[in-house]
Amino acid sequence: MDMNNKQLKNAEATQYIVVKIGREQYGINIKYIQNIVRIQNITRVPKAPYYFKGVINLRGEIIPVMSIRLKFGLEVEEDTFNTRIIIVKISGQVIGLIVDEVKEVTEIPEEDIQTVAREANDERGNYIIGVGKVKNELVTLLNLEGFINLNS
């Protein structure tokens, strides 16, 4: 009987890739991730929102790239050896997200995720699913649908 309970708990765990943005750690659901690439030449696009850095050409596919830092209103940071672009596909759209560092892939069980109270006027509340615990550290889990929202 205990074995079945354990299997049920494992079935409710979701895999996230843990990334660093500034001093904070964020989790991105692995089901959206198509690729992770080193930072590369980004071509600016006129009149794009401030948090869109431009586009990249990845094996012949033109992919828009956004800065999570800028979308969160954080200071601009110089690209480093660890800077990566995470290519995600959401609602049929492919987009690159710039992160400071990719740390690990981890499984977070449902019971280790706490939802976050949202204030109606706090736009950032739409960007977050909740907070998960990974090895006694907190990881903020991104809601990519709300975060990317290509209409905003």
Per-residue pLDDT of the chain (152 residues; tens, 9 = 90+): 444 444 444 458 899 999 999 889 999 999 999 999 999 999 999 999 989 999 999 999 999 999 999 988 888 888 899 999 999 999 889 999 999 999 999 999 988 889 877 665 555 567 888 999 888 889 999 998 887 765 44
Q: Is residue 82 part of a domain?
A: yes
- Angle at CA 98, nearest 5°, toward 108 and 123? 70
| 137-142 and 101-108 strand pairing | unpaired
Domain count within the chain: 1
Place of tokens 């736009």: 123
N- to C-terminal Cα separation, the chain: 49
CATH number at residue 22: 2.40.50.180
Q: Assess if residue 2 is contained within a domain.
A: no
H-state helical runs in 29-107 = 68-71
- E strands, the chain, are 14-21, 24-29, 33-38, 52-58, 61-67, 84-90, 93-99, 101-108, 113-115, 128-134, 137-142
**Residue 148 structure tokens:** 């990317």
Specify if 8 maps to a domain: no
Would you say residue 97 lies in a domain?
Answer: yes
Which of 65, 63, 82 shows the shortest CA–CA distance to 21? 82
Give the three-class secondary structure for 6.
Answer: helix
Question: Is 121 a member of any domain?
Answer: yes
Residues of the domain holding 61: 16-148
The pTM (predicted TM-score) of the whole model is 0.84
**108 domain-assigned:** yes
Residue at 27 is within a domain: yes
In a domain? residue 94 = yes
Q: Which residues contact 136 (CB under 8 A, 6 or more apart)?
A: none
What is the token pair recorded at 73? 């209103």
Amino acid, res. 122: D
